[in-house]
């Protein structure tokens, strides 16, 4: 039974290589001040190649971004928000 499960898990990983490279990071975006800001930040991040799901919170002043680490990096993400007028940094 356990052997069967292991085989299944391996098959699942083998057919979904994209997901294996997906990382999720939280960026601190302190300059967001009104409801329009998250829209601008989200738009800027969505233009970066390899970016998947984006969740921007005005209340928390942060952006949770899922991205393919083979196509982009955290520095490209922070660069994109900075170009849009919102400097950001990786939240630990
Ligand atoms: Cu604003």
Ranges of each domain in the chain: 20-90
Q: Which CATH class is domain 20-90?
A: alpha beta
- Residue in 42, 30, 52 with CA at minimum distance from that of residue 84: 42
Please, which pLDDT band fits residue 3 given cuts at 50, 70 and 90?
low
| pTM, rounded to two decimals | 0.77
Whole-number mean pLDDT of the chain? 88
Asked whether the predicted pLDDT for residue 8 surpasses 90, the reply is: no
Residue 4 confidence (pLDDT): 59
Q: What's the CA-to-centroid distance between 40 and ligand 1, angstroms? A: 8
Q: What's the CA-to-centroid distance between 28 and ligand 1, angstroms? A: 15
Q: What's the CA-to-centroid distance between 21 and ligand 1, angstroms? A: 33
Q: Are the CB atoms for 49 and 71 separated by under 8 Å?
A: yes
Q: What's the CA-to-centroid distance between 74 and ligand 1, angstroms? A: 23
Residue 17 confidence (pLDDT): 55
Mark the residues whose beta carbon lies below 5 A from ion ligand 1.
34, 36-37
Which uninterrupted H or E stretch holds 51? Answer: strand 51-57
């Amino acid at each position: 039974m356990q052997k069967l499960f292991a085989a299944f898990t391996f098959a699942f990983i083998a057919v979904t290589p994209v997901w294996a490279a997906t990382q999720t990071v939280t960026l601190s975006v302190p300059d967001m001040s009104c409801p329009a800001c998250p829209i601008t930040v989200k738009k800027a991040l969505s233009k970066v190649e390899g970016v998947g799901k984006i969740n921007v919170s005005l209340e928390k002043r942060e952006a949770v971004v899922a991205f393919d680490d083979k196509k982009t990096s955290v520095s490209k993400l922070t660069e994109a928000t900075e170009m849009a007028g919102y400097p950001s940094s990786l939240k630990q």
